[in-house]
Structure formats: C-alpha cells, structure tokens
Amino acid sequence: MTDADDALAIAEVRLTPILVADPPLLNTQGVHQPYTPRLIIELTTEGGATGLGETYGDTKYLDLAQPLATALIGRSVTDLNGLPALAAEVCGDSSPSSQLRSSRGDPNAATGADAVDAGGLRGVQTAGKLRLSVLSGFEVACLDAWGRAAGLPVHALLGGKVRDRVEYGAYLFYRWAQHPGGRGERDDWGAALDPVGVVAQARRFADTYGFTSFKLKGGVFPPAREVAAIRALAAAFPGRPLRLDPNGAWSVATSLRVADALRDVLEYLEDPASGTDRMAQVAAGLRGAGPDGGRRRAGLPLATNMCVTTFDEIAEAFTRDAVQIVLCDHHYWGGLRRTRELAAVCRAFGVGLSMHSNTHLGISLAAMTQVAATVPDLVHACDTHYPWQTEDVLTERLAFRDGRVDVGDAPGLGVALDRDRLAALHRRWLADDGGLRDRDDAAAMRRADPGWTAPAVPRW
C-alpha cells in the first residue's frame, strides 16, 4: 500500500438517523407522516477527507447500515466494486424471495406481486432491495470523500459531466392544509384537492422554481377527477410536459381509459397498473387500436419506478415491452455507478430514462444532480421532492434556477454539513416514541380515518 492508498482508507463512519418535516401529501396508500426518517452517513478517511451520504432512515435500513458501517473501517473509499459483495456478506440474507411488508396495524396488507412498500410506493419490497438502498448511501459518501481528497467533483469520478445544469420537474401532490390533529409543522401551501388547487400549486412551483414540467401524484381520487386535474394543467400550461402517476392503483381497463382521455397531453403515464404483467397488458392495449376503431393510441409511453427497480426485473419487463421509460433512482439501484449501468441497459433496449425521487434532503439532491449530469440519455426532467422539504442538514440549500440545478465543479458533492441542524433533527428522532421512525402512509391516514387500510390493487 502506498501512502496515498492509506490516506483513502476509511477511519470512521458516523450514522445519524433524523426525522425531517414532511407535509401532508396524499398518495394511494394514505398520507405522508408529519416527520419522515432519513439516515445521514458521514465517513472520514485516514487522510482526513470527509464524505456525506443520505438514504432511507426507517428501522429496517438502520439495521443494515450499522454492520456495513463497521465493516467499512480500513477499506478504501475507492473500493466501490467491492461494496456489493461486502454488503451481501455483512447485511444478511437478501434472496429476492425474502419479501418484506410492514404496514402497522393493517390486516389487509397485500403480499405477492401486488405488495407495495409501505414507505415509498416502490413495488414489491425485498431484503435485497433494502440492501441496495443502504449501500447507495455509503457509495455516495465514498465518492464524496474520494472527490474531496482528489480535488475532483463526483461527476468527474463518474467519467465527467455531459451537461452543466440538470432539469427537475414540479412534483404536484393532492394535499391537505395540515396534518390530522394539527401535528407537525404547518406550511403556507394550503390544501390542493381539486383541479383549481392543483393548478395553483403548479403555478407556485413554476413561479418560485422555474419548473416547466409537471407530475401529478395520482391514485388518490377516482380517475375521472385526476383526469380533470391533468386537463386543467394542460389548459393552464399549454404544451408543457405532464405526467400522471397513480402508483399502480388502476386496472388494465381503467389505465387504457385514462390513456385515451389524456394521450394528447401526457409526456408519459407512470405506473398506471401494478406489476409487470398488468403493465405489459396496458402497453399492448396502447399499441392496439383505440376505442374509436382506426386511430391507434401509440405514442404514449409507460414509465415505471415500481415494476422495474432492480436488474433482476429488467429482462421480463423489457422483453415484453411493458415499459418504455424507467425512472432511475440511485437509492433503489445501489448507487450512482449502478445508475449509469442501468442507463446502459436501457440504451441497449431502446428504453428511455427519467429519474424518480422519494422524500429526500440536499445531500441526495446533490448526488442525483451529479449522476444525472453524466448520463446523456436522461432527457426527461428529473423528479424531486426537495421543494417540499423545508428542513435540511446543509449549511446552504441547493437552488433551482429555471427549474434546474447547476452541476458544480467543487470537490466531491460540493455540499457542507450543518452540524447544528443535524443534531437538532437527530434530537427529534431520539425524542420520538417510535411512531414516526418508520414511514407508513397508511398508518398516518388512520389518524384521519381510523378504518383506513392500504387499498388493494387495482383500486379502480
């Protein structure tokens, strides 16, 4: 080992679970909790370089993160190809069949292909997927530390940026003005429960951040109501890219009806139905004749962040042409480098690429921006929840200008940790009785509707 190798060896890993304020955003499972768990990863090398990573903070992720943190001591931050094997060794069984599901107090929680992660609407949850999400936070922290030590931005370690700014879209949600019982922090967005409210929310996103592309989280109300909201958006923002994502809540027939109603205004339809098989049926229906006989519905791509979230799920979905766009997400796919591998596979199959987001802070937004800057095929605006997250652990929040985040050339991710903020959000986590430490949107909904259970799919 050279001195330079020694300097890049990991000397310390610090894991800090936090609870971050989250607004009452509605989805098909229920509503976001007032606070959501995240895990902040800090590592320090022998040479004194520090690296930051961020991932899900629910208990099941924390349980895997601790042994991985311990096992990383003494290894080089450059040993990224060795990370998956190390994680497999220390994080326990990850057979795809070891499916997880926890929806507190929900006797009707789905199992099998229709099961959805209670904390993130990701599709079937497995131990292997959890491990990849944990691993992704460590990979980002290693890249950040390596970049700082080398004086290079993360995008340079990924082969270099192909764009100087990464475009993001407005992520619109039906929402309440406040959480049930007035819990949590109150913001000034107000309720958005109808087309007028959705358009007003979109207008504020456009005016504040410059977003020109809009995605509505659907699966909340009967489809006709959501179709009306998209129509209202199309009228308010003519020609702008629009997306609707009901997280698999619809049947094949409903998906096709909605596609017929919106095909002239949607950029893509995201996860209309649950599972690869239903998505393949919807895609086949879209390739066939429309209800008006001769006219074809072709031209409306289906996108997913639910039925294709691991390499194992690609073969069936792509060979059946079930999806035409995959939403990458480095938290799902095991890091920034694997996100680039996904891009290569998609390119080979002629499948497009967009980017998914779940509730996240600035460290993850910086990581998303760095990797997105390196992928030429990423031509759709990326999703981000960041504008909904008013709290962060950074000294300076990342800014959207004209709907875009600048791709910095500062070493690493180019962000700095605010230790006081981190400590305050960690104290909130410590003070919690456990009720908020695991995201569960159905459990949060039961505060407003005690009889609520996560709806079985297809819901409509």
* Residues designated as active site: 217, 356
Q: Which residues pair with 215 in a beta bridge?
A: 171, 243
Q: Which of 34, 120, 123, 275 binds ligand GLR (CB under 6 A)?
A: 120
Residue 52 interacting with ligand GLR (CB under 6 A): no
| Residue whose pair of structure tokens reads 């009306």 in the numeric block | 228
Please report the DSSP string for 26-63 in residue order: B-SS-B--SEEEEEEEEEEETTS-EEEEEEE-SHHHHH
Smaller CB distance to ligand GLR: residue 246 or 408? 246
Residue 36 interacting with ligand GLR (CB under 6 A): no
User: Which residues lie closer than 8 Å to 287 by C-beta, 6 or more apart?
Assistant: 296, 297, 298, 321
Smaller CB distance to ligand GLR: residue 42 or 271? 271
Straight-line distance from the first to the last Cα atom of the chain, in angstroms, rounded to the nearest whole number: 61
Q: Which of 226, 245, 260, 267 binds ligand GLR (CB under 6 A)?
A: 245
Using CA atoms, how far residue 214 sits from 33, 172, 242, 365, 375, in Å, is 23, 7, 5, 18, 21
In what side-by-side order are the strands of the sheet with 242-245?
170-173, 214-217, 242-245, 266-270, 302-304, 325-328, 352-355
Minimum CB–partner distance for residue 116 and ligand GLR (Å): 9
* Residue 251 interacting partner from Mg ion, ligand GLR, none (CB closer than 5 to 8 Å by kind): none
Residue 27 interacting with ligand GLR (CB under 6 A): yes
Q: Which of 358, 369, 374, 389 binds ligand GLR (CB under 6 A)?
A: 358
Distance CA 189, CA 294 (A): 45
**Nearest to residue 372, comparing CAs of 384, 358, 389?**
384
Minimum CB–partner distance for residue 173 and Mg ion (Å): 12
Specify whether the CB–CB gap between 328 and 357 falls below 8 A.
no
Binding mask 66-105 for ligand GLR (x = CB under 6 A): ----------------------------------------
Minimum CB–partner distance for residue 56 and ligand GLR (Å): 11
Minimum CB–partner distance for residue 219 and ligand GLR (Å): 8
CA atoms within 13 A on the CB side of 121: 31
Minimum CB–partner distance for residue 359 and ligand GLR (Å): 6
Distance CA 306, CA 304 (A): 5
Residue 126 interacting with ligand GLR (CB under 6 A): no
* Residue 309 interacting partner from ligand GLR, Mg ion, none (CB closer than 5 to 8 Å by kind): none
Smaller CB distance to ligand GLR: residue 161 or 385? 385
Distance CA 190, CA 205 (A): 14
Minimum CB–partner distance for residue 23 and ligand GLR (Å): 10
Cis bond upstream, residue 222 (ω within 30): no
Residues that bind Mg ion (CB under 5 A): 245, 270, 305
**Cα 117 to the chain's mean position, in Å?**
12
Residue 249 interacting with ligand GLR (CB under 6 A): no
How many degrees, rounded to 5, is the angle at CA 163 between CA 362 and CA 236?
70
Minimum CB–partner distance for residue 4 and Mg ion (Å): 43
* Residue 103 interacting partner from Mg ion, ligand GLR, none (CB closer than 5 to 8 Å by kind): none
**Nearest to residue 140, comparing CAs of 125, 153, 126?**
153
Smaller CB distance to ligand GLR: residue 40 or 442? 442
**Nearest to residue 415, comparing CAs of 164, 57, 137, 153?**
153
* Residue 358 interacting partner from Mg ion, ligand GLR, none (CB closer than 5 to 8 Å by kind): ligand GLR
Residue 43 interacting with ligand GLR (CB under 6 A): no
Minimum CB–partner distance for residue 305 and ligand GLR (Å): 5
Distance CA 226, CA 198 (A): 10
Residue 380 interacting with ligand GLR (CB under 6 A): no
Indicate the residue whose CB is closest to ligand GLR. 27
Residue 381 interacting with ligand GLR (CB under 6 A): no
Q: Which of 126, 305, 354, 453 binds ligand GLR (CB under 6 A)?
A: 305
Count of positions on this chain that bind ligand GLR (CB under 6 A): 12
Which strand (E) or helix (H) includes residue 139?
Answer: helix 127-150
Binding site for ligand GLR (CB under 6 A): 25, 27, 120-121, 217, 245, 247, 305, 356-359
